[in-house]
Structure 1
Amino acid sequence: MVTTAHDRGITTLTLDSPANRNALSARLVDALRAALDTCARDPAVRAVLLTHTGTTFSAGADLKEPASPYTFVSLMRRIVELPKPVVARVTGHVRAGGLGLLGACDLAFADRTAADFAFTEVRIGVAPAVISLPLLPRLAPRAAARYYLTGERFDAAAAVGAGILTEAADDVDAALAPVLDGLRKASPQGLAESKRLLTADVLRAFDDHAEDLVQRSASLFVSAEAREGIAAFLERRDAAWVR
């Protein structure tokens, strides 16, 4: 479910679960965590590039085979704490929990025309609870309010303005090339210590709020309103509250 390739200090981890649009199933989350652990131990890895197959980076939580909130929080924290930069490369759709992965990454680049984004939780009766841990320290407050509350889709340019993306480009690989070359030239210690400075506020959010948000997420997903919202989503119909 996660494939690995290595080239001159950069290890590329590719989400490869096309049957469910790279949704965050328990198996996918475990596979990505294991791959990141391998990268952390390997001195040949200077940085990690996180990308995807197909037209969807991640559809968010797998509603049929979900990972536990604790497991997903652990995965996001692993990305944040990894002593090597993690760079996201997006050429498709990103929804809900997939945005949590982007928030945990140090840098995120997306195709200007092919990528789009949405916090769809509000439309199924839940909230973007645990993904707020890496996202809210990075997001512009007005953008967070708009997209959390409406669930509307927005493009890569708006995602840059919101603080989700580093850059939107017509040729995402061309935009990434100088960044990856820069990471190859940086020292391992310099990268690790610079990343510690950059992620301090995000890690404080995990320390202070993770347990509360895990409990909140778990309670929302078993509520009657969420059961209706999830059923409506799976049945491709409007939920009972839609007017």
Structure 2
Amino acid sequence: MTAEEMITVATENGITTLTLNQPENRNSLSMSMLRALSERLETLEDDPDTRVVVLAASGRVFCAGHDLKEIREQFGDQDQQKDLFDQCSKVMQQVVNLPKPVIARVAGVATAAGCQLVASCDLAVAADTARFATPGVNIGLFCSTPMVALSRNVHRKHAMEMLLTGEMISALRAEQIGLVNKVVDEQVLDDMVYNMAGVIAGKSTHTLKIGKEAFYRQLELGLADAYDYTSQVMTDNLAAGDAQEGICAFLDKRTPEWKDS
């Protein structure tokens, strides 16, 4: 399959949907799939028509993680294996660093690096039939890279339970531990996802970019440094035209007219 076939793209009303489109391979993150996803994310960075990104998947499996058949072919070639994991890490960081909010639409199973992909997104909405796991321990390959995103989204004891047992958890359990934001009936999954995306798409893209970057950066800082950093971020944000327009619109009781700057 070509990169365009592996990851389909559709944009409407400022919302771009990227769909993992290899259901016959359980949407596994092979090297070719990872490269295709990386290319798609790169094109969206400066795309003026994209205000919010929805990450979806075709078929009954959202993403089964790495392609184990591909990994088996790489036995004995550590350079190739390291390239694969480095590429996966690059994609996860691209999701986090993309200056547009990313919402995972999860209608099926998300395991290992697939669960990592969900955890890397800014928001996640799941169907009540969705399930999640980091089952690497069951095959002797601990989910060490998925652990990075997982442990930054859920409490460490919940993360360790998933990592150590490798057991599948329900969508409701994923919501309870903070892996996903909302769980809904599969029949209304799209309504929930695109309503949420539409609300976010109505905000200033400049403000969203500032806020997303600041959110992830302050998490890595100590308390005092985080406040110093975010105080400067707010000061700089206040100098932007959209912030001044938004404040004036609120005080004047009117709808703001964003310039995205």
**TM-score, scaled to structure 1:** 0.80
Who is 1:183 aligned against?
200
**Residues 1:200 and 1:23: Cα distance change in structure 2 (over 3 Å):** same
Describe the superposition over 1:85-132 as per-residue Cα deviations: whole angstroms up to 9, x where unpaired. Answer: 0100010011111011111100000001x2011111010112121122
Partner of 1:70: 86
Q: Deviations over 1:181-217 (max 9, x none)?
A: 211211111110111122225678xxxxxxxxxxxxx
Deviates more, 1:181-190 or 1:60-69: 60-69
Contact 1:76–1:104 under 8 Å retained in 2: yes
Q: Distance in 2 between the 1:106 and 1:3 partners?
A: 20
Contact 2:103 2:193 in 1 (8 A): no
User: Deviation of residue 138 (structure 1)?
Assistant: 1.2
**C-alpha displacement of 1:135:** 2.0
Structure 1 segment 1-243 matched on structure 2, within 5 A: 1-66=6-71, 68-112=84-128, 114-170=129-185, 171-200=188-217
Q: Tell me the distance in 2 between the aligned counterparts of 1:38 and 1:190.
A: 20
Name the CA distance, whole Å, in 2 between partners of 1:133 and 1:145. Answer: 11
Amino acid at match of 2:101: P
Change (3 A) 1:203 1:76: farther
Quote the Cα distance in structure 2 between the aligned partners of 1:203 and 1:15: 30
Partners of 2:15 and 2:198 within 8 A in 1: no
Unaligned 5+ runs, structure 1: 205-243
Corresponding residue pairs, total: 203
Q: What is the CA–CA distance in structure 1 between the aligned matches of 2:97 and 2:148, rounded to whole Å?
A: 13
Aligned to 2:238: none
CA distance in 2, matches of 1:185, 1:161: 28
Farther-moved stretch of structure 1 (167-176 vs 118-127) = 167-176
Shift of 1:34: 0.4
Question: TM-score under structure 2 normalisation?
Answer: 0.75
Give me the identity figure in percent: 35
Report the RMSD for the aligned CA atoms in angstroms.
Answer: 1.5
**Cα distance, 1:160 vs. partner?**
0.9
Give the direction of change, closer, same or farther, for the CA distance of 1:30–1:198 in structure 2 (3 Å limit): same
* AA matched with 1:194: G
SS in 2 for 1:12: strand
Decide whether the 8 Å contact of 2:147 with 2:159 is kept in 1.
no
Cα distance in 1 for residues equivalent to 2:52 and 2:89: 21
Which stretches of structure 1, 4 residues or more, deviate above 3 A after TM superposition?
201-204
User: Any unmatched runs of 5+ in structure 2?
Assistant: 1-5, 72-82, 222-261
1:133 to 1:163, Cα distance in 2 relative to 1, 3 A: same
Question: Displacement, 1:49?
Answer: 0.3
Larger relative contact order (C-alpha < 8 A, sep ≥ 6)?
A: 1
